[in-house]
Amino acid sequence: MNKSDFKFVAPEDRANIEQIRPGLTYWKDAWRRLKKNKLAMAGLVVIGLMTLFGIFGPFFTNYNYSDQIPGFNNIPPRFEIMKVEDHYFYLNLSEYNLYTSTEDGLLLEKLDETARDTTIKHLTYDLNGEDVMINYSYKVFEELADEGIDFSITYHGVEYKELYGKVSNKLFPWGSDTLARDVMTRVMYGARISLFIALVAALVNLFIGVIYGSIAGIEGGIVDDIMMRIIDVINSIPLLLYVILIMVILDDNSMFTVILTLGLVYWVGMARLVRGQVLGLKNQEFVLAARAIGVPKSQIIFRHLIPNSIGPIIVSLTMMIPSAIFTEAFLSFIGLGASAPQSSWGSLANDAIGVFRSSLYQLLFPASAIAITILAFNFFGDGVRSALDPKLRKG
């Protein structure tokens, strides 16, 4: 082989055969792993949508959480109407109220009842001075119910039995409750309360739990023992008892009671976690070096120990937020949370218990909001745990 058999490349044209991968920081690497988790990203999207739903949703409705429209109570999101001549009627079989409606489901007015005969199951209403008679015996007698209808309407001497069709409720898209309030608007305001509770739980965990656990871990000895015994005492008393005691002391049954309770007791789990992390880190070489050059303990905590424990802290935080949401819903459900007329998901579920057999939608919407939000936070928290924990990384 001769030198002329080869073609030499100029130094400036040479390509580096070693392909260097761009450097990633800890958080960029965690975000890259998190984006691969479809359930976690779906949970993050749902959390964002639920936040927008609660914050901005009420600005696009025609009602406040306490607004009532008398007579329009317990109307479902979808209902069947009957066309009678040029009129469209909707009969609320749970209340036996008759309404006029448009063809597309916008309720216009509730008709006044003028006569009632419970013997033959007849009701009579007034429509512009003329009688509209309802025969609801089909709903009672099996031989009539077999015809496939629940009621008939007699107007101008003609009986109408065939339903026109099922339409969506244009007045109340998610229906109305027993006090004729818009369910969708109240669920929106309930989202505000639940997400505010989640924010309070997050701030309390960060500011109290992290600092308390860090101090206990770095001090050690008798200080650590005393601080941990205080946590044991707080943990030994049920959360419900705390709420009742605060209600008795303050003579106040409102959201402030729930927020104060979470502020007093909800940080203990985070404090235990951070203490364990600090105990494992405080004897590491970088901490010993900081102590050797005289760095104050406060700076060691905030500049070294907490940043190196931030992964488990964030994971615990994302897991505790849904627990706080459920706690608030439970307390409101038993009457210890948001007081009327404020709407919380728990109080909405409690209000629907009495009518859930006939108006299941009143329980379905707030219960679904609780379940979807908690699932979203759990999926997101599990994804964050997988992204930040080195032992669980798979690529």
CATH code of the domain covering residue 321: 1.10.3720.10
Q: State which of 103, 133, 168 marks the end of a domain.
A: 168
Q: State which of 133, 168, 203 marks the end of a domain.
A: 168
Residue 136's pLDDT is what?
80
Residue 159's pLDDT is what?
86
Does residue 245 sit in the same domain as residue 333?
yes
> Which amino acid type is present at position 206?
L
Residue 226's pLDDT is what?
92
| Angle at CA of residue 198, ends 195 and 200, nearest 5° | 115
> Which amino acid type is present at position 360?
L
Sheet arrangement for strand 122-127: 112-117, 122-127, 130-135, 152-155, 158-160
Q: State which of 137, 168, 199 marks the end of a domain.
A: 168
Does residue 162 sit in the same domain as residue 187?
no
Does residue 100 sit in the same domain as residue 244?
no
**8 A C-beta contact, residue 200 and residue 259:** yes
Q: What's the number of domains the chain is made of?
A: 2
Does residue 153 sit in the same domain as residue 293?
no
| pLDDT tens-digit readout, 213-235 | 999 988 888 998 999 999 998 88
DSSP H or E stretch at residue 316: helix 310-333
Cα–Cα distance for residue pair 67/180, rounded to 1 Å = 8
Look at residue 63 and tell me if it is in a domain. Answer: no
Does residue 293 sit in the same domain as residue 376?
yes
**8 A C-beta contact, residue 129 and residue 143:** no
Residue 321's pLDDT is what?
85
Does residue 386 sit in the same domain as residue 355?
yes
Look at residue 203 and tell me if it is in a domain. Answer: yes
Q: With a cut of 70, list the residues of the chain below it in pLDDT.
A: 1, 11-24, 138-149, 251-253, 389-395
Look at residue 51 and tell me if it is in a domain. Answer: no
Does residue 361 sit in the same domain as residue 332?
yes
**8 A C-beta contact, residue 64 and residue 208:** no
Residue 13's pLDDT is what?
64
- Domain hosting 124: range is 78-168
Residue 145's pLDDT is what?
46
274 exposure class (CB count in 10 Å sphere: 0-12, 13-18, 19+): buried
Does residue 154 sit in the same domain as residue 196?
no
3-state secondary structure of 108: strand
Unique residue bearing structure tokens 């991968």: 21
- Nearest Cα neighbor of 266 from 225, 209, 338, 210 is 209
Does residue 239 sit in the same domain as residue 325?
yes
Residue 19's pLDDT is what?
52
Residue 281's pLDDT is what?
86
